């Protein structure tokens, strides 16, 4: 959708990070419901039955969203409703014992500090207003999400460290009362960063605890990783793993993520979003620093391109609105149309600002991954 205000709540496709749906108006309330299942005993003659806990139920999050285009020319709100309904489409391939099937995407809901990981259970839309030609221009959509437990969702198992527990994916031992870890299985096409997000942990901690992973951008599906309960445990796992024979962790190929073999001077990095996380495992290799001058030059060029696109977009928008304003004046809507010029300019500037911020973030991420932790992108005038 076009609305991308920083204060707006949004849904994100957890299987395909970056696919976001922003609400038009933030919900007035969120209803979060938790349920536990208890069974009453069949014993007779008791004033109150004994209760036996059976199981927990998935928490449910319900909200009402309003969509209204009456002040935006009366365009149809159907595309917004359809975008929400897509949460129920079986679009994600799943490999199981019976072969390959499909499921709807996992959905993360974000609103400032509130974060809910779940699946979409129900979309109920009520059309509240139509134009004379039947175009729907106002609707209330009730969205119901069920919370998903990430650990059980991707094959994790719990491991508690008492006097000593063998972690099969590491082949090493650790000890410490009260320390816990889990294991998680990497899904198809998941990077190390995505696997960390799915396991509710930080990718640096995950990379530290699993030094056998040599390419964080290309982790084989089905790989079992250890998810340490804290950074101290990750240190223990890393030290013990590295203390084993180096042959146990010999890489199959060049560790340099910037090698020409990967498809160019910057390798096969592809999308730079999240690069700080995905390259963090290489922070001690010293290899990334060789590409920093190229990265800085690319960032400078990218800023120049964004500036040119912004200026061109502003010019085109102004000319288009001026042409429409001439016609609008004749029907008494000239002031309203001219007011759109400022809104369009603001929207274009906001978009360019987000692009510049993204470039800065990517540039800083590469420097940090190379060990240049104090680097900050240059201030722009």
Residues 241, 272: contact at Cβ < 8 Å? no
Write down the domain spans for the chain: 10-35+54-148, 153-253, 258-381
Task: Assess whether pLDDT exceeds 70 at residue 7.
Answer: yes
Is 184 in a helix, a strand, or coil? strand
pLDDT in tens, 258-300: 344 434 343 344 444 444 444 444 444 444 555 677 778 888 8
* Among the listed residues 32, 22, 30, the one whose alpha carbon sits nearest the alpha carbon of residue 9: 22
**pLDDT of 252 strictly over 80:** no
142-178 confidence digits (pLDDT tens) = 999 999 875 443 444 444 333 333 343 333 333 343 4
Q: Is-above-0.95 flag for pTM?
A: no
Q: What is the pLDDT of residues 8-21, one digit of tens each?
A: 899 999 888 778 89
Average pLDDT over residues 78-101: 86
Q: Are 182 and 199 in contact (CB under 8 A)?
A: yes
Quote the CA–CA distance of 39 and 54 in Å, as a whole number. 7
Residue 131 has pLDDT above 80, yes or no: yes
H or E stretch including 316? Answer: helix 292-330
Element (H, E) at 274: none
Q: In the structure, how many helices (H) and strands (E) does the chain have?
A: 8, 16
CA distance 100 to 98: 7
What is the mean predicted confidence (pLDDT) over 313-318?
76
Residue 345: partners with Cβ closer than 8 Å, 6 or more residues away: 314, 317, 318
> Using 50, 70 and 90 to split pLDDT, how confident is the model at 240?
low
Q: Do residues 145 and 121 make contact, with C-beta atoms less than 8 angstroms apart?
A: yes
Mean of the per-residue pLDDT values of the chain: 73
- pLDDT for 95-114, tens place per residue? 777 778 889 999 999 998 88
């Amino acid at each position: 959708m076009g609305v991308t205000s920083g204060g707006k709540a949004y849904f994100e496709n957890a299987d395909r990070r970056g696919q976001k749906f922003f609400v038009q108006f933030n919900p007035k309330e969120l209803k979060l419901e938790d349920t536990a299942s208890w069974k009453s005993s069949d014993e007779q003659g008791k004033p109150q039955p004994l209760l036996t806990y059976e199981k927990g139920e998935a928490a449910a999050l319900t909200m009402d969203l309003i969509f209204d285009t009456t002040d935006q020319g009366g365009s149809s709100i159907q595309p917004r409703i359809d975008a929400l309904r897509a949460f129920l489409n079986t679009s994600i391939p799943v490999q199981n014992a019976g072969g390959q099937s499909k499921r709807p995407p996992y959905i993360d809901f974000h609103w400032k500090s509130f974060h809910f990981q779940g699946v979409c259970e129900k979309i109920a839309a009520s059309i509240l207003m139509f134009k004379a030609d039947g175009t729907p221009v106002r609707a209330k959509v009730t969205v119901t999400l069920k919370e998903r437990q990430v650990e059980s969702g991707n094959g994790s198992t719990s491991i508690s460290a008492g006097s000593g527990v063998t972690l099969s994916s590491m082949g090493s031992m650790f000890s410490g009362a009260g320390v816990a870890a889990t294991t998680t299985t990497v899904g198809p096409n998941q990077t190390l960063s995505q696997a960390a997000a799915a396991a509710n942990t930080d990718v640096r901690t995950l990379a530290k605890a699993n030094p056998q992973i040599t390419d964080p951008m290309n982790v084989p599906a089905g790989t079992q990783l250890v998810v340490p309960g804290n950074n101290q445990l990750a240190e223990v796992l890393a030290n013990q793993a590295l203390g084993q024979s180096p042959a146990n962790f010999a890489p199959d190929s060049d560790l340099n993520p910037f090698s020409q073999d990967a498809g160019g001077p910057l390798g096969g990095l592809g999308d730079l979003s999240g690069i700080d996380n995905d390259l963090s495992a290489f922070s001690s290799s010293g290899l990334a620093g060789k590409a920093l001058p190229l990265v800085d030059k690319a960032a400078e060029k990218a800023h120049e391109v964004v500036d040119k696109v912004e200026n061109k977009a502003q010019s085109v928008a102004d000319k288009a609105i001026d042409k429409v304003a001439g016609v609008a004046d004749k029907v008494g809507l000239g002031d309203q149309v001219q007011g759109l010029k400022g809104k369009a300019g603001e929207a274009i500037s906001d978009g360019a600002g987000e692009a510049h911020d993204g470039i800065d973030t990517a540039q800083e991420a590469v420097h940090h991954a190379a060990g240049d932790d104090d680097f900050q992108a240059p201030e722009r005038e």
